[in-house]
Amino acid sequence: MSAQWISVIGTSIFCFGFKYLGHSVPELWLNHPRIQRINTYIPIVLLTGLVTVQGLTEKTKVVIDHRAAGLGVAVVALLAKLPFPLVIIASAITSAVIYRIN
């Protein structure tokens, strides 16, 4: 058996055990107000991390390029409470124009 298969099987067993452990948590713990507040922020934090990594890195380096300008415009548009489709369009146009200039 190759090292890749060992890592795939090991990761699968770990994920199954982790999920089983999550289902074994008593409901009383999950209904605690602090846990409820934390759970509402988890998707936001994960998405923010994903956007940051995809927008500001290239392989193992931090890169400030046209994507960073698009992210900046998106942040400003979100702070201005523009509708989400306009945020995406403004960000894409900004990124494309700066990419085209360079």
Domain ranges of the chain: 1-31
Cβ atoms within 10 Å of 66's Cβ, excluding its own: 17
Q: In the chain, what percentage of residues exceed pLDDT 70? A: 100
Per DSSP bridges, beta strands 61-62 and 57-58 are: antiparallel
Residue 1's pLDDT band, with cuts at 50, 70 and 90, is confident
pLDDT at 81: 97
Name the average pLDDT for the chain: 94
Distance CA 66, CA 92 (A): 10
CA–CA dist 9, 80 (Å, integer): 48
On the question of pLDDT at 102 being above 90, the answer is: no
| Residue-wise pLDDT tens digits, 42-83 | 999 999 999 999 999 998 899 999 999 999 999 999 999 999
